[in-house]
Amino acid sequence: MVNENQFGNRDKKGHWRPFKRVDYGPLFRWPSEPMQLFKWLFRWDGYIFPWNFIYALVAVLVWTYFTPPMETMKSFSIDWIAYITTRNGVLMTLWYGAFHLWLYVRRNQGTTFKYNPKWPETDNSAFLFRNQTIDNLIWCFASGLPIWTVFEVITLWMMSNGYIPYLNLDTNPILFFAIFLFLPLFREVHFYCIHRLIHWPPLYRTVHKVHHANSNPGPWSGLSMHPVEHLFYFSGVIIHWIIPSHSVHALFHLVHLVMSPTPGHAGFDKVIIGDKKLLDTHCFAHYLHHKYFEVNYADGSIPLDKWFGTFHDGSEKGDQLVKARLKGLKEKST
């Protein structure tokens, strides 16, 4: 059995912290390190594998087998719109439900690698019906699912009618695959921008507080947002209304938006598979954001938080720096 103490330790309150510090890949290091960049791109637990590859694979499968023909989507119809809504709901249920079942219902690894030893709230007035999981499910399905579907339906309808630029594989294969490679990077920049926006006090108090009620997040917390935040969050797909791209690119973008918050809010640093295999979730940086609010607005490959002074590397020294910065901000505001 895997011993979590080989990878991190717990404080007096039982909170687990990994030894490995939060860091970014070599994409923006200078001087450039071509070999390190190549390894980072293609190694396991790098940029492509496993997570971005999984999201791309799901998008291709959804586009190939579970998306109506372009001819059908030229005209709005309740039939194909309802089909896409149902398909999206099934995808969300299977993906989020698998993480929730494995880690929180069956609790297959207990609290091993869990940052916060506590389980989701079951009696807290911050949540609908005082239950964190029920609250998260409601926001995901009542707000996230329909808004995701609206963006998808409009995008596919416009592509089907030729209202927006369209890119085919046979006309420009290099650009076709390059878009797959760069979309996650675009997502990071877009997310950072809208994330900073919704931390503006008026928007935070009225919108973003729904998501931040999850100070100890679980899988369903990832897409648990106020409808206005969902509108901001999914708005990144509008890029496909402007630049030439294929419908599978738009689906990859949307699938990435929907699926990546699950491991990103799992609450566990690693998922144990079998007796010894570990799958890194890479969610510690974002867990720190839920814990400290004003750090790590983006995490991934672009060091935006380092550039703008909101980075927390997960160390105890980082804790002190954040507390000092927040204290300074509070003193300035008084």
pLDDT tens for 98-148 read 999 999 999 999 999 999 999 999 999 999 999 999 999 999 999 999 999
- Residues pairing with 9 in the sheet: 17
So what's the pLDDT on residue 328? 78
Q: Using CB atoms within 10 A of its CB, is residue 188 exposed (0-12), middle (13-18) or buried (19+)?
A: middle
In which region does residue 84 sit, left (phi positive, over 0), alpha (psi from -120 to 50) or beta (all else)?
Answer: alpha
Distance CA 311, CA 307 (A): 8
Q: Strand runs (DSSP E) across the chain, as ranges?
A: 8-10, 16-18, 270-273, 277-280
331 confidence band (pLDDT: 50, 70, 90): confident
Calpha distance 149→143 (Å, rounded): 10
What is the pLDDT, as a whole number, of residue 332? 74
pTM exceeds cut of 0.95: yes
pLDDT average, residue stretch 11-20: 97
**Could you tell me if 167 and 246 are in contact, meaning their C-beta atoms sit under 8 angstroms apart?**
yes
The closest alpha carbon to 26, from 16, 34, 18, belongs to 34
Both tokens of residue 90? 């099934």
Give the model's pLDDT for residue 151: 99
